[in-house]
Amino acid sequence: MSLLPKLTEMKLGSLVLIATLMASAFAYLWNPIPLQTLRNMTFDQYQRWHPRIYREAPVRIIDIDDESLRRLGQWPWPRTQVAELVSRLQDTQPAAIAFDVIFAEPDRTSPKAILDLWQVTPSLRHQLDNLPDHDTLFAQTISRGGVVLGFGVEREGPHTSAPGIKARYVILGEAPQAYVHAFSGTVNSLPMLETAATGLGAITFIPDADGVVRKVPLLIRVENTLMPSLSAEALRVAQGAHNYTTRTVSAQGVGLAEVRIGNLPVPTTPEGEIWIHYTEPVANRYIPAWKVLAGEVPAQELPGHIFLVGTSAQGLMDLRFSPRGGTLPGVEVHAQMIEQLLTGGGLARPSWATAIEFLIIVCGGLVTGTVALVAGAIAAFLVFAALLALVWAGAWHAFTAHGLLIDAATPSLAFTFIYVFSSIIHHLSSERRQRWIRQAFARYVSPNLVTYLIKQPDALELGGRRQQCSFVFTDLTGFTTLMEGMDPGTAVTLLNHYLDRMIAIAFSHQGTLDRIVGDAVAIMFSAPILQPDHQRRALACALDMQRFARQYAIELKAKGIAFGQTRIGIHTGEVIVGNFGGSTIFDYRALGDPVNVASRLEGANKHLGTLICVSEATLAGCPDWPARTIGHILLKGKSQPLAVFEPLDPQQINGPDTGYQAAFEEMCRGRPEVLQVFETLAAQRPDDPLVALHLNRLRAGRTGDLILMTEK
């Protein structure tokens, strides 16, 4: 090779090195969302490899878990019951009791609230009206002291006033309002409860772009008013302190350096947040609420503790994405934050981290690129690998020894970027090396994978589309009782066979399995492949499922096993269908009210006495399908009633049920003789659930076909 080509190659190599180095430095300073995500994923991986070691702390979660809901009833509980819970906790002489719950509405079980629903005599109304209000009793219990109530915050929407301030703020340096997270309004507890509480704290988290909660603010701003988080307020009340002290960085315009909660100094990010170093799951952290109410928590074992009342129940949906993967209850985030502040072991991303990482990118990238341009492949790779190892080892040591968050992924990405481009330039002149590079990339990328992505590029994209779909929801009655009465292994085997056949039936009708929750199955039609006859498919699928479930229960009953009945709800409506989630969760499903309505119709069977309940929207697509009108039901929380029907099995009937339908129409017209008509029908059909339903309604003085559902 002549001197001129060599000089040209060296000049080209130098230009490529400078360009890639500048691009890497610019990308780091620009800090786009992908780099933020990569950095956060790195910090998350640190926590997975090295979680915070749990140290016993005077912090406990009073958990409104699934078992508490099963024992004590669905949430919200009557305020008298919550007051009893608080009273029992107060008997343990706690440092503070903090609610990760908002009591924004009056108790609907209070006597005065119930009077709006009941038709009672004037004398009974007078007696009930004089009974104590549940919210007043709850406020009286709170006023005994040490209780912190939560409130929610909103970034958008109408401006609402912040709750009353319970603490004082001492400001050292600049005013912190310019730096903390700002919100336009709040969702507050009832005024009487706020007045009785010792403290008030925001329960809202501010997750990163991927939905993961890595940092928790100590203070926020509503309009121009500083408000503490629930965790900070619990710590203040636990100390019996009155003040928060904020201190900003000495340089102007940087932000906060520290928030002192009473006598507890807490270093923060410039936005007033602290990084949470999560532990592995710790059972000792939780106390089920039902145990407290049952008196099974010895009062002498928990004096001076901070109690956080919240929920881990799946149905209440207070779940947060954790850096360690998966989800955890929101109340546990508060608990782990308080534990961390009391016992140490927290995380920090120091202010000098950005400068150090930028310097590593520039210096390390310069070394990597220069060696890749002038040295052989093996030597260049060894230097590159050594730099990567050095960066990761340093970042790992900073994390494990000092709790410092140093980004090793972004410098590694920059090194890789520079190394690859410099290596390509170095080997452009070698045909053999070019063939090696082509062969290497050919091994990295599978042709069939490329073909798949070309043909179906939308398969890996987030988002969805609007379309009409039909939904079938099934549930099995009595399975919990069955589990309690027989060997769990045998019960699971029976359930698995049941679910296998139910899903196979759905697949035979080209349905899409949306989810399995315990013994319940949700099936979707007309997605992802459009099906013009999705209503008929859904209805036929439901009937086939019911036939199998009935036969399966009969077979097991012959063996002495009471397997229970299958209830099914069917509904059709417009939903958003597609891929939802992010880097942590990627799920194909439908979102929209019709999904919830189908589930609610399945539950309505229990009150109607039916096994299958189908909406008019679904039946409209099957005009020739025999069905019996149930009536118009008003689901709880809905303003418009829904016409529903009981579909009949064409294989088991000869035609429509004219006798029932005629009686039903007489009832809708309000004929006085309709009661006698239904009593005659009931005598002829003692096992007909719809005849029994309307007969009981008529005997109770209700006419027409409107049925109010008081439960979900």
Longest dimension (CA), the chain: 113
User: Of 330-339, 426-435, 571-580, which range is least confident?
Assistant: 426-435
Angle between helices 674-684 and 689-699 (to 10 degrees): 140
Alpha-carbon gap, residue 349 to 106, rounded angstroms: 43
pLDDT digits (tens, 9 = 90+) for 317-326: 788 899 998 8
Q: What is the mean pLDDT of residues 71-80?
A: 91
* Per-residue pLDDT at 126: 60
Helix (H/G/I), strand (E/B), else coil: 658: helix
pLDDT band per the 50, 70, 90 thresholds, residue 436? very low
Q: Identify the H or E element spanning 228.
A: strand 225-228
Choose between 18 and 620: higher pLDDT.
620
- Whether the pLDDT of residue 171 is over 70: the answer is yes
Residue in this structure with the two tokens 């709006």, named with its chain if needed: 116
Percent pLDDT > 70 in the chain is 88
Q: What is the mean pLDDT of residues 325-354?
A: 91
Instruction: Extract the runs of DSSP E, i.e. beta strands, from 369-511.
Output: 463-476
Q: What is the mean pLDDT of residues 367-372?
A: 84
Residue in this structure with the two tokens 């929407």, named with its chain if needed: 157
**Sequence-separated (6 or more) residues with CB below 8 Å from residue 409:** 38, 39, 41, 42
pLDDT band per the 50, 70, 90 thresholds, residue 651? confident
- Whether the pLDDT of residue 335 is over 90: the answer is yes
CB 259 within 8 Å of CB 180: no
pLDDT digits (tens, 9 = 90+) for 32-50: 888 888 999 999 999 999 9
* Per-residue pLDDT at 445: 30
* Per-residue pLDDT at 425: 76
pLDDT band per the 50, 70, 90 thresholds, residue 585? low
Q: What is the mean pLDDT of residues 521-541?
A: 90
What letter represents residue 270's amino acid?
P
* Per-residue pLDDT at 432: 46
pLDDT band per the 50, 70, 90 thresholds, residue 446? very low
CB 469 within 8 Å of CB 534: yes
pLDDT band per the 50, 70, 90 thresholds, residue 111? confident
* Per-residue pLDDT at 259: 95
The one-character DSSP state at 487 is -
Exposed e or buried b per residue across 488-514, where buried means at least 16 C-beta atoms within 10 angstroms of its C-beta: eeebeebbeebbebbbebbeebebbeb
Alpha-carbon gap, residue 295 to 306, rounded angstroms: 18
- How many Cβ atoms from other residues are within 10 Å of residue 432's Cβ? 8
Alpha-carbon gap, residue 19 to 30, rounded angstroms: 16
Angle at the Cα of 266 from the Cα atoms of 265 and 270, rounded to 5 degrees: 130
Alpha-carbon gap, residue 40 to 265, rounded angstroms: 26
- Whether the pLDDT of residue 357 is over 80: the answer is yes
Alpha-carbon gap, residue 605 to 635, rounded angstroms: 12
* Per-residue pLDDT at 6: 47
Choose between 161 and 532: higher pLDDT.
532
Nearest to 17 by CA among 629, 591, 425: 425
Alpha-carbon gap, residue 322 to 51, rounded angstroms: 12
- Whether the pLDDT of residue 586 is over 80: the answer is no
pLDDT band per the 50, 70, 90 thresholds, residue 291? very high
Task: Tell me which of 3.30.70.1230, 3.40.30.10, 3.40.720.10, 1.25.40.10 is the CATH number of domain 460-625.
Answer: 3.30.70.1230
* Per-residue pLDDT at 7: 45
pLDDT digits (tens, 9 = 90+) for 538-563: 999 999 999 999 999 999 888 888 88
Residue in this structure with the two tokens 């290497």, named with its chain if needed: 440
Two tokens, residue 587: 């799920």
Nearest to 603 by CA among 615, 616, 593, 613: 613
User: Distance between alpha carbon 702 and the CA centroid of its chain, in Å?
Assistant: 41
* Per-residue pLDDT at 479: 76
- How many Cβ atoms from other residues are within 10 Å of residue 273's Cβ? 21
CB 235 within 8 Å of CB 224: no
Domain ranges of the chain: 3-44+349-444, 59-162+182-238+277-343, 460-625
Report the mean per-residue pLDDT for the chain. 85
- Whether the pLDDT of residue 570 is over 60: the answer is yes
Alpha helices in 134-173 (DSSP H): 134-142
The one-character DSSP state at 288 is E
Alpha-carbon gap, residue 633 to 601, rounded angstroms: 9
Two tokens, residue 558: 């012959």
pLDDT digits (tens, 9 = 90+) for 248-264: 998 888 899 999 999 99
Beta bridge partners of 288: 63
Computed from CA positions of residues 284, 286, 292, 296, in that sequence, does the dihedral angle turn out positive or negative?
negative
pLDDT band per the 50, 70, 90 thresholds, residue 712? low
